[in-house]
Structure 1
Amino acid sequence: MRHLLTESLRWHPGRPAWGAAAVATLGCALPLLLGLFSGHPGFLWATVGAFQAAKANPLHRFGMLRMLLLIALGACSAGLGFWSATHPLISLGLFAFYGLLLAWLQRYGNEAGKLGIGLAICLCLGQGQYGIADFNNPYAIAILFALGGLWVTLLAFGMRGVHGLRMWPYMPRLMSLLRVLRRHARRTPIRQWRQHALTYVLACALGGAIVELADLPRGYWLTLAVFTTLQLDMERSLMRALQACLGVLGAAAILIYMGHSLADPPLMVMILLPLIFFGRAFQAHHYGLFVLQATLGFLLLAETLAQDWNLPQMRLINATIGVGIALGATLVMYLLRRLITRRSSKRPQATAQEDQARDATTPRS
């Protein structure tokens, strides 16, 4: 354990976490300060786009390719979430699709799962930010998101030039990439994955529909609680599921209490920038920790410039409902899995009893 901790914190030229942290901090600082001085909500989306792009390390071999992929897909997800905020059925279908997409990406390893959870968070923020400010154009949101990400990309290209690296690395071979993905997919049995995906689809669709039908303000607290809770290995046991739900709910309560106590956008910006720096410098490799870290960062960015911290109860209620939805969907699938296992175990016993009865009634020659 000590050796692993030392290796994870060590700086070396192949993985300069401090450089990526500086790019993330500078990329988020400019739109945050512009939004703080101007009060325009569009800079929030530029900040979110910058934070999404900064998840990729620009000095890795395929870091720039991953960064552009995060920007393009994240902008589409945020725009789709904002567009679906006035259509309950479309929102239900879209959240069900993203739940299925997240479960599908998790089959191909942790890095693909990290891409999926980032897109799901952008979708939740897009839907939950609708109606908060006089800004109701999904195309403008997607463009502002992309501009914030491209600002980080410009900084990343500059850092690659300082380190004497190619501006654009060699592209990966498609067949090699497909072989690696197929190898990851074979680790999970298809029957287990189908139950896993069905849990995601049911919980995410229900969360997106409730936000629309109940017209909940700051609805991303609900949907983010659903996505985050489902990522914490809840399907292992009922005790594990309960611990995950209590952990997410406790973290949400602490975050809401801190935001309500501060309730000062300049002070929150001053606190957030060091958190972004150290959070990116020590970005978690473990999937569950990465989900918590990314969700916390996106929530802080979305709430930094908020002016309604005098109503913390609506955030806590939304988070509680989201955790309850995730726990309920997990319990339903757990009981269904137990029922299927019991029936499958009874079938061989019934077949054996029928064979014994047939042998007993068959006359011997």
Structure 2
Amino acid sequence: MFKSLLAHATDKANLLEGMRAASASAIMLLVGCALHAPDFAWAAIGAFWSSLATASDTARNRLASMLSFAALSTLAGGLTTYAASFGIACGALAILVAVTAAGFTRIWGAKAYQVAILAATACVVMVDRPWHGGAGGMAYLGVYLFGCLFATALSMLIWQLRPFEREYHSTTWQQALARTLRDAVLTLRAHASLSSDGAHFALRLGIATTVAYLTVHLLHLPYGYWATMAVLLVLQPSAAGTWPRSVERALGTVVGTVIAVAISGLAQSPLAIAVAVFPLIGLTMALRPVGYGVFVAFLTPSFVLVADYAMPVLDEYNYVLARLENNLLGSAIAVAATLILWPLTERLRRKPIN
């Protein structure tokens, strides 16, 4: 049985894609080491998230998805950071707007939602670093954007896993853009109602994430962005999808935390962390198609080590405990929101039985 599972994982894994994403992030950390600039951890995060946002079908779609994510996450993240500087209430309002808008993009399909939800993830992480005046307070956004653009250049120009064949389009990119916008407007009109499933899911996601944000701040829980991230990545349109996702995330987080603690004990310097991040991010990307639990198991130590690079943790035990608590809190809020706020059932169940 184990051999069959291993063979299944090997078939689905994309090791080269993992190596490329890992290279983009690790190079950013190495640049930070050379410049003695811990803020380059944001460049590594931007490079990694850009790799996750990549569409893999055509060169045009790949470029569009990566550039859209870079622009959207930087702009939205900057706005939420600025809003949070006026207090928790303003930060919560910014999170509500950003996440609800991201949730609504689900009506346009998986590719659009993937870009938007990753941009929303950037918002809930950046909002915990509110701007306190001065250009220096926003400098990390430029570093973050640089990481996004570096990953895009690496993917499109330097390291093409499957060199793009010459694409012949019957329309120009301007015509394709106009058609895409026209189709998007038609889809929007079809879902432009508070009673639509798309609106219900978007509002549920926005409200649940905002509740998580307010909870961790009112209770003064450290590293609260792990709770809001959990809501974003766990909550699904139905309880049937959210519950197993929350269990997978909890188990993956526990395994990933053990890995992070083990590596943190060995990787004490920024250079050692940069080296350790390479295989972790590589496995995170490569094993993403295998299953969500496996993905989280490697995502957790990757993110923990990058965060340690930017801001070393003095009390590793309490840091690990806080992360586990926040992940469980976020997962619980996601499950509760799915059950309470406009619970969805399959449309066939809604239809009267003749």
Coarse TM-score class (shorter-chain normalised):
0.7 to 0.9
Q: Indicate whether 1:253 and 2:254 are aligned.
A: yes
Unaligned runs of 5+ residues in structure 2 are 346-350
Partner of 1:148: 147
Deviations 1:245-288 (A, max 9, x none): 232222222222332333234555434212323444565399x7
**In structure 2, what is the Cα distance between the partners aligned to 1:112 and 1:289?**
23
Question: Match for residue 116 of structure 1?
Answer: 116
205, 208, 226: which is aligned to 1:203?
Answer: 208
CA separation of 1:35 and 1:290: change in aligned 2, threshold 3 A? same
| Partner Cα separation in structure 2 for residue 314 and residue 136 of structure 1 | 31
Q: Secondary structure at the match of 1:217?
A: coil
C-alpha distance 203-53 of structure 1, shift in aligned 2 (>3 A): same
**Any idea what the Cα deviations from partners look like across 1:126-182, whole Å, max 9, x if unmatched?**
124569xxx99442121111112222334332346x95878xx96261343246546
Q: Deviations over 1:273-331 (max 9, x none)?
A: 12323444565399x78995996587346435252223222222222221222122222
**1:61 partner letter:** A
| 2:223 partner amino acid | R
Q: Is the 8 A contact 1:78 1:141 kept in 2?
A: no
Q: How does 1:325-344 map to 2 (within 5 A)?
A: 325-333=333-341
Indicate conservation of the 8 Å contact 2:50/2:151, yes or no. Answer: yes
1:130/1:136 contact within 8 Å kept: no
Cα 1:144–1:262 shift into 2, 3 Å:
same
Match of 1:173 among 155, 171, 176: 176
Q: TM-score, normalization: structure 1?
A: 0.71
For residue 320 of structure 1, what is the aligned residue in structure 2? 328
Match of 1:230 among 232, 235, 242: 235
Give the residue type in structure 2 aligned to 1:173: A
**What pairs with 1:64-213 in structure 2 (closer than 5 Å)?**
64-86=63-85, 87-129=87-129, 137-155=136-154, 156-159=156-159, 171=173, 173-178=176-181, 181=184, 191-213=196-218
Tell me how far 1:42 sits from its aligned partner. Answer: 0.9
Q: Does the 8 Å CA contact 1:58/1:157 hold for their aligned counterparts?
A: no
Shift of 1:96: 1.0
Q: Is the 8 A contact 2:249 2:293 kept in 1?
A: no
The 3-state SS of whatever aligns with 1:303 is helix
% identical aligned pairs: 19
CA contact (8 A) 2:58 2:164 kept: no
| Partner-residue secondary structure (3-state), 2:108 | coil
Aligned length: 324
Q: State the Cα RMSD in Å.
A: 4.3
- Is residue 58 of structure 2 the alignment partner of residue 60 of structure 1? yes
Deviations 1:6-42 (CA, angstroms, capped at 9, x unpaired): 9x759xxxxxx66654542332122212335665331
Distance change >3 Å, CA 209–CA 25, structure 1 → 2: same
- What residue in structure 1 maps to residue 279 of structure 2? 274
Distance (Å, rounded) in 2 between the aligned partners of 1:319 and 1:236? 18
Q: 1:20 to 1:260 in 2, by over 3 A?
A: closer
> Contact 2:252 / 2:295 at 8 angstroms: preserved in 1?
no
> Cα 1:298–1:193, aligned 2, differ >3 Å: closer, same or farther?
farther
**Equivalents in 1 of 2:201, 2:65: separation in Å?**
26
* Match among 29, 32, 39 for residue 32 of structure 1: 29
- CA distance 1:291–1:181, shift in 2 (3 Å): farther
The aligned runs of 1:288-299 (5 Å cut-off) are 296=300, 299=303
Contact residue 277 and residue 302 of structure 2 kept, 8 A = no
Q: Quick one: distance in 2 between partners of 1:136 and 1:58?
A: 37
Q: 1:52 to 1:245 in 2, by over 3 A?
A: closer
Alpha carbons 2:103, 2:202 under 8 Å: kept:
yes
Distance 1:304 1:101, change over 3 A: same
Distance in 1 of aligned mates of 2:231 and 2:180 = 31
Larger C-alpha radius of gyration, 1 or 2? 1
Are the aligned partners of 1:96 and 1:205 in contact in 2 as well (CA < 8 Å)? yes
Q: Which amino acid aligns with 1:299?
A: F
Choose which of 46, 51, 64 in structure 2 pairs with 1:49: 46
CA distance in 1, matches of 2:89, 2:58: 41
Query: In the alignment, is the contact (CA less than 8 A) between 1:224 and 1:295 conserved in 2?
Result: no
Contact conserved, 2:22 with 2:282, CA < 8 A, in 1?
Answer: yes
